[in-house]
């Protein structure tokens, strides 16, 4: 009897550490109606990510739910350039199926924060996009960015972009390629 109890305890302890956790899973590309399923994860953490960007007349909103990627947990990226805008938000939680949040785009604080940055966007070049224009940065976007890269936006043909504007600290730390629907093919220059 003693050994059976010991065995059962061992089995349940193993089950707790070995059997995978479940998380809610979905990937909505430019849509808010997501087909949710369940997925098994190795860790015990789940993640929700939402993203918005606008580039020269094109808008894109997406949501992701699934296993946590610890390098992306709790980011809150935000950036603005001339004719371009970007928000990225992730949240991780612990426990089975804990990522049951509603789909919500990140909100940004529109209050000017006193920082001013050059404000430009040049399409079709990786050269510096020079400008005399300035923008009053808002909310968490307290530093200036100069970014030049070849981007593939939602499967369209690769295009070179070069621009300046305001970003927050998480955007500089996490790079712009941790994205859904926007792929950085080649990084020409990044300075925050
Ligand atoms: C995303 O959806 C919006 C409508 O909700 C549409 O105007 C826009 O063109 C779509 N973006 C892309 C990149 O397909
Ligand atoms: C930035 O803010 C200043 C006031 O601090 C204002 O005079 C200026 O017009 C603003 N610039 C822009 C581009 O909004
Ligand atoms: C980024 O800035 C926010 C405030 O806007 C601050 O709470 C956070 O600690 C900063 N993160 C890093 C890594 O500096
Ligand atoms: C981007 O610019 C580089 C350097 O000028 C050039 O070699 C490349 O072909 C350009 N890419 C596109 C997609 O235009
Ligand atoms: C987590 O995100 C980072 C940054 O985007 C990426 O490089 C890495 O491959 C991701 N890891 C997994 C397991 O998906």
Torsion of CA 15, 19, 23, 25, to 10 degrees: -160
Q: Is 136 in the pocket of ligand 2 (CB under 6 A)?
A: yes
Domains, the chain, in order of start with CATH, read 21-191 (2.10.60.10)
How many Cβ atoms are within 10 Å of 1's Cβ, its own excluded?
5
Q: How many CA atoms lie within 13 A of 58 on its CB side?
A: 10
Q: How confident is the model at residue 180 (pLDDT cuts 50, 70, 90)?
A: low
Q: Each residue of 47-59: pLDDT tens digit?
A: 999 888 899 988 8
Is the model's pLDDT at 4 over the cut of 60? Answer: no
Please state the rounded mean pLDDT for residues 91-111.
Answer: 89
CA 136 / ligand 2 centre spacing (Å):
6
Two tokens, residue 114: 């006193």
Q: Each residue of 10-31: pLDDT tens digit?
A: 334 444 445 578 999 998 888 7
Is the model's pLDDT at 96 over the cut of 80? Answer: yes
Q: Whose CA is closest to 110, among 74, 80, 83?
A: 80
Report the alpha-carbon distance of residue 51 to residue 119 in Å, rounded. 22
Share of the chain above pLDDT 70, in %: 85
Is the model's pLDDT at 67 over the cut of 70? Answer: yes
Two tokens, residue 20: 């995978």
pLDDT of res. 174: 61
Provide the whole-model pTM.
0.82
Q: Each residue of 116-164: pLDDT tens digit?
A: 999 999 999 999 999 999 999 999 999 999 999 999 887 789 999 999 9
Q: Is 130 in the pocket of ligand 1 (CB under 6 A)?
A: no
Is the model's pLDDT at 32 over the cut of 80? Answer: no
Q: Which of 21-25, 69-73, 175-179 has the lowest mean pLDDT?
A: 175-179
Pairing of strands 84-94, 76-81: antiparallel
Q: Is 30 in the pocket of ligand 1 (CB under 6 A)?
A: yes
CA 80 / ligand 4 centre spacing (Å):
23
Check: CB of residue 159 under 8 Å from CB of residue 150. Answer: yes
**Residue in 79, 139, 169, 192 to alter for ligand 3 test, most ligand atoms within 8 A of Cβ:** 169
């Amino acid at each position: 009897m003693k050994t059976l109890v010991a065995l059962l305890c061992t089995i349940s302890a193993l089950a707790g550490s070995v059997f995978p956790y479940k998380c809610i899973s979905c990937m909505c590309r430019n849509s808010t109606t997501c087909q949710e399923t369940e997925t098994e994860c190795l860790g015990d953490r789940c993640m929700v990510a939402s993203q918005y960007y606008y580039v020269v007349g094109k808008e894109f909103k997406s949501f992701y739910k699934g296993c946590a990627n610890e390098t992306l947990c709790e980011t809150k990226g935000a950036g603005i350039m001339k004719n371009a805008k970007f928000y990225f938000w992730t949240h991780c939680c612990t426990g089975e199926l804990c990522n049951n949040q509603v789909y919500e785009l990140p909100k940004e604080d529109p209050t000017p924060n006193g920082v001013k940055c050059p404000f430009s966007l040049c399409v079709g070049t990786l050269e510096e996009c020079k400008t005399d224009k300035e923008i009053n940065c808002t909310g968490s976007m307290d530093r200036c960015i100069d970014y030049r890269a070849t981007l593939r936006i939602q499967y369209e043909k690769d295009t070179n972009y070069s621009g300046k504007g305001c970003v927050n600290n998480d955007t500089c730390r996490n790079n712009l390629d941790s994205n859904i629907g926007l792929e950085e093919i080649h990084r020409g220059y990044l300075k925050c």
